[in-house]
Amino acid sequence: MPANLTPQYIEAERKYKEAKTHEDKMKALEEMMATIPRHKGTEKLQAMIKTKMAKLRAAAQSRPAVARHGPSFHIEKTGAGQVVVMGPPNSGKSQLIASLTGAQPEVGDYPYTTRFPAPYMMKFENVRVQLVDTPPTAPEEIETELAELVKTADGVLLVLDLADQDTASVLETLISKLKEKRLELAPENLSQPPEAGRFVKKTLIIANKCDDPKAEENLAFLREYFGERFVFFPVSATRLDGLEELRKRIFLLLGVIRAYSKVPGKKADFNDPFSLKKGTTVIEMARAVHKDFFEKLKYARVWRKGSLSFQGQMVNRDFALEDEDVVELHI
């Protein structure tokens, strides 16, 4: 399949070849990843770019003297997806993570309790989602390390403080500073592709402390000020208001489906689904199960929840799966 590379990609590739510094090379590679067409014909090229980026990061981390000493902002992905949780000081994001996961990140009523990124696992039904707690985000200056972490994540939870009457100003500044890092926060239902050289992340904006006396007034102002640009989801991390619905919204933010592999003649294991991107086909799931199924697949049978027409229906390898489909692979 031809790659059909765009002019923006070709320009980014030229910049990479001419780049002299680690930073310029990384910027060019990021532009290449942002502008490369997404189809089977570019899979190997995408993998090669990712390998080059990984080598550059490794080389940068190994450089002595002027390198910044401290914990790495890179967090290996696990679970159904990775969501970075960020917010200004005292917005309550660490308390929110504690309430969602049952874990015990350090929580305090003073700024900068969280000093470096840390992953925690949130359970939603039969899957787990990785939530990454991050140091408080000073809106006036976004750390490059934090921006890089967000660029590789599957989504963002931005936690705001409804007890703070300056929250609208804080959010506006934060959005502006992120754009300087070529990062844009987008609503959950975003469908348009990002501009060349920019990273767009689907974002849930959490309006925390909805139990505060000032919360209702401040939330109304946020909604009026930002209009349809964002949806604000009110919760109370301490009183647990809205957290069950929030778990579901976080899962939906990932854009993944759950699929269950079934052995012929046996029942499916509903406790251990495969987490796959929306639009995944039978053959792509076969690859995730085992390379033998991918190489030798003849057909599959699908059982679809709530569908009378798909109860063991035979389908071909290009059939698109939906959430909670049961798939029986035949080779």
Give whole-number Cα distances, 185 to 28, 119, 209, 246, in Å: 21, 21, 22, 18
Among all chains, which residue has been given the structure tokens 């919760």? 235
Q: Report yes or no: 322 and 295 within 8 Å, Cβ to Cβ.
A: no
Q: What per-residue confidence (pLDDT) applies to 9?
A: 83
Low-confidence ranges of the chain (pLDDT < 70): 1-3, 58-72, 105-115, 189-196
pLDDT recorded at residue 110? 46
Cα separation, 100 vs 85, whole angstroms: 12
Q: What is the pLDDT of residue 106?
A: 61
Token reading at 52: 């080059």
User: In terms of DSSP bridges, do strands 155-161 and 256-262 run parallel, antiparallel, or are they unpaired?
Assistant: unpaired
List, in sequence order, every residue forming a beta bridge with 200; answer none if it has no partner.
184
Q: How many CA atoms lie within 13 A of 233 on its CB side?
A: 21
Chain Cα centroid distance, residue 312: 33
Give the model's pLDDT for residue 6.
82
Identify which of 50, 239, 54, 206 has the alpha carbon closest to the alpha carbon of residue 131.
206
Cα 251 to its chain centre, rounded Å, is 10
- Report the 3 state secondary structure along the chain: CCCCCCHHHHHHHHHHHHCCCHHHHHHHHHHHHHHCCCCHHHHHHHHHHHHHHHHHHHHHHHCCCCCCCCCCCCCCCCECCEEEEECCCCCCHHHHHHHHHCCCCCCCCCCCCCCCCEEEEEEECCEEEEEEECCCCCCCCCCHHHHHHHHHCCEEEEEEECCCCCHHHHHHHHHHHHHHCCEEEECCCCCCCCCCCCEEEEEEEEEECCCCCCHHHHHHHHHHHHCCCCCEEECECCCCECHHHHHHHHHHHCCEEEEEEECCCCCCCCCCCEEEECCCEHHHHHHHHCHHHHHHCCEEEEECCCCCCCEEEEECCCCECCCCEEEEEEC
Residue pair 62/96 in contact by the 8 Å Cβ criterion: no
Predicted pLDDT of residue 232: 94
Hunting for tokens 């592709």 — which residue is that? 193
Domains and CATH numbers, the chain: 7-62 (no CATH), 82-253 (3.40.50.300), 256-330 (3.10.20.30)
Confidence (pLDDT) at 120: 94
Among 92, 110, 87, 129, which Cα is nearest to 236's? Answer: 92
pLDDT score at 217: 94
Q: How far is 243 from 240, CA to CA, in rounded Å?
A: 6
